[in-house]
Chains A and B, each alone.
Chain A
């Protein structure tokens, strides 16, 4: 199984490189840097905070979008070319296929997290940049797991991409939704209000806590980052295992 994982992982990585994914990333990181420099040049004050905030936030969104799209389109192509059917006709455990794909794209995620680091170092200290990089890598691992799960479950590019973007936006904003549901207009005697608050709470339990990940305020003010890495790693392990198990559940049930 180990060899199968490595082989599929290497081919997945090579496919991403040949698909010019890394060049697109390089072009976008330069564009993000140019945008950050431009906004910094017109800012009256806090120019460094604006530059590092814009660069890190733009890069995080770009990585999530690019890698999610790359994973889903890769699986779609394989399904359309019957490559997946061919692979499963060999004595290869289906888990090896899943973990091979995960490993290959994780290598792309490492590059995505590292490529922006030299530019961030222009604005923030090394410790903050390192923490942010590791946190971005963890976030991208979860995005890869989610993309694999959605692509394998729905077998449809549009649905999988929409699902991924929907989950991502919801996970990033669920805290605000919860606060609004229990805000000044919350009526504890109203069943509808209670149901909405309960529903949002339940939804939050099933989503990854992305609000803990790759926060720009670590780079702006490194004093805010103490104890952040532990929570990020724990959430990555728990949610990564959960989504991987769900994806494998579907993959093992898939009929060729």
Chain B
């Protein structure tokens, strides 16, 4: 189409057309005044669909879809006109969506990050436990890539829930995992044992760790030696008191 720059005068427009235009404009404004305001409707989190359905929607890009699912889930608390607290979400469905996201791309760390840092920050112990169970189950599938989220889960169980047996069970899996996990994460079990008052068990574990040769850093070795010494003194003191 050629762009026409010249226009005829407004006088060429029939008067009826101008009247109809003005009247319709007024009616349109009145119509919208009459219409009710948009209503806020909080949507419940739906169940995650089967993987095949989602892969179809991903158009052959599961890694991209995995991240989009994570972002959508993270933003689900902010729906138009309303903000839903995380604690109000159905955690069974939340973990379902997080699993879907991980299955689409197991290398995506986003689901585990939001699981350990967002969804555990709720004042509902049952929901926090469900999220920790999710992190634990995913850690077992790939300890090498997911140990940091498990370490965070130990801290959450210990400090947020105050559930030392749970923290110990999680820390034990970090220690026993067949993967290259940094020493500080493996040693978490020792500190939880100390908090539980199981000093002898902590001593045995720490002694075994030091004698196995797995601690290669000189500074770390000195620190742990001192820690072992403190443990032995505490055990001796306790036996005297008994």
Q: Is B13 located at the chain interface by the 8 A CB criterion?
A: yes
Q: Is B31 located at the chain interface by the 8 A CB criterion?
A: yes
B interface bracket (residues with beta carbon within 8 Å of A): 35 or more
Q: Is the CB of A157 within 8 A of B18?
A: no
Q: Is the CB of B35 within 8 A of A242?
A: no
* C-alpha spacing A246/B18, complex, angstroms: 8
Choose one: B4, B21, B31, B37; the contact of A238 (CB below 8 Å).
B31
Q: List the one stretch of B77-85, B120-128, B170-178, B224-232 in contact with chain A.
A: B77-85
Q: Is A89 located at the chain interface by the 8 A CB criterion?
A: no
- Name the interface residues of A157-196: CB closer than 8 Å to any CB of B: 157, 175-180, 182-185
Choose one: B13, B50, B78; the contact of A252 (CB below 8 Å).
B13
Determine the main DSSP class of A at the interface with B: helix
Q: Is the CB of A253 within 8 A of B8?
A: yes
Q: Is B216 located at the chain interface by the 8 A CB criterion?
A: no
Report A-chain residues with C-beta under 8 Å of the C-beta of B24.
238-239, 241-242, 245
Q: Is the CB of B29 within 8 A of A205?
A: yes
Shortest beta-carbon distance, A109 to chain B, in Å? 21
Choose one: A177, A183, A253; the contact of B12 (CB below 8 Å).
A253
Report A-chain residues with C-beta under 8 Å of the C-beta of B29.
205
Q: Is B60 located at the chain interface by the 8 A CB criterion?
A: no
Choose one: A43, A205, A209, A249; the contact of B21 (CB below 8 Å).
A249
Can you report 24 A-B residue pairs in the complex whose CB atoms are below 8 A from each other? A42-B53, A75-B1, A79-B2, A155-B2, A177-B80, A179-B82, A180-B81, A182-B81, A185-B83, A204-B32, A205-B28, A205-B32, A235-B31, A238-B31, A239-B28, A246-B21, A249-B18, A249-B21, A253-B12, A253-B13, A254-B4, A255-B4, A255-B6, A255-B8
